[in-house]
Amino acid sequence: VQKFLVYFQAYTNTFSKVSSLKDQFATAFQFSDVVGAVVGTRPDCLSDSIFDLWREYSASKFISVELGVQTFNEEQLIWMRRGHTAAKSLRAIERIKKECDVDLGIHLMFGLPGETDRQIIETAKTINGLPIDNVKLHNLHVLKDTPLADDFLNGRFLPIERADYFRRCALFLQHLS
């Protein structure tokens, strides 16, 4: 391997000052073997200045944006305390692709409470109509010292079984164009 993408993922890189991310980009791109950057962010952490930064760098480098959508189901977004709505995710996707020449991906999370096969299929159909380049699938997992861990320990939440998660991923992919 002789060419690299630098992955800016820790939490959300667009939540802090854009000048900080710009400095990090400048540092990364000093190395000739770094040909691009991947930036993880959220639909509720996009400012005009971040769009300016992406436009500036995408003129000469590969820039990929990974948007943590997680779900398009409003009840699940509220349950996760995401701080954004499905509509905000859709607006962010449209704006990013309209205003920036970046590779755009979204992250989805399967295994949320109340999730159904129908919802998985509808999510794939929604994505089929969006201007995105890739999708990453994640499973919902329980982290220590979180409200979800409390729910898990008290029997109010039970993660889906591995086989069911894989079945939902397959169902999703069967309906994804």
User: Which tens digit of pLDDT belongs to each residue from 27-59?
Assistant: 999 999 999 999 999 999 899 999 999 999 999
Assess whether pLDDT exceeds 90 at residue 82. no
SS3 percent helix, strand, coil of the chain, rounded to 5, is 45, 20, 35
Which carries the bigger pLDDT value, residue 155 or residue 12?
A: 155
Q: What would the mean pLDDT of 143-153 be, rounded to a whole number? A: 88
* Banded model confidence at residue 146, pLDDT cuts 50, 70, 90: confident
- The 10 Å CB-count burial string (b at 16+, else e) for 135-164 is beeeebeeeeeeebeeebeeeebeebeeee
* Banded model confidence at residue 114, pLDDT cuts 50, 70, 90: confident
Most confident of 30-34, 75-79, 112-116, 138-142: 30-34
Write the CB contacts of 73 (distance below 8 Å, at least 6 apart in sequence): 86, 112, 114, 115, 119
* Banded model confidence at residue 10, pLDDT cuts 50, 70, 90: low
Q: What would the mean pLDDT of 147-152 be, rounded to a whole number? A: 88
Percent of the chain having pLDDT more than 90? 74
3-class DSSP state of 62: strand
Write the CB contacts of 24 (distance below 8 Å, at least 6 apart in sequence): 8, 13
Give the rounded distance of the alpha carbon of 148 from its chain centre: 20
* Banded model confidence at residue 12, pLDDT cuts 50, 70, 90: low
Q: What would the mean pLDDT of 149-156 be, rounded to a whole number? A: 92
pLDDT of residue 15: 66
> Across the chain, what does the average pLDDT equal?
92
pLDDT of residue 11: 57
Q: What would the mean pLDDT of 4-15 be, rounded to a whole number? A: 77
Burial of 88 (0-12, 13-18, 19+ CB in 10 A): middle
Contact in structure between 156 and 106 (CB atoms under 8 Å): no
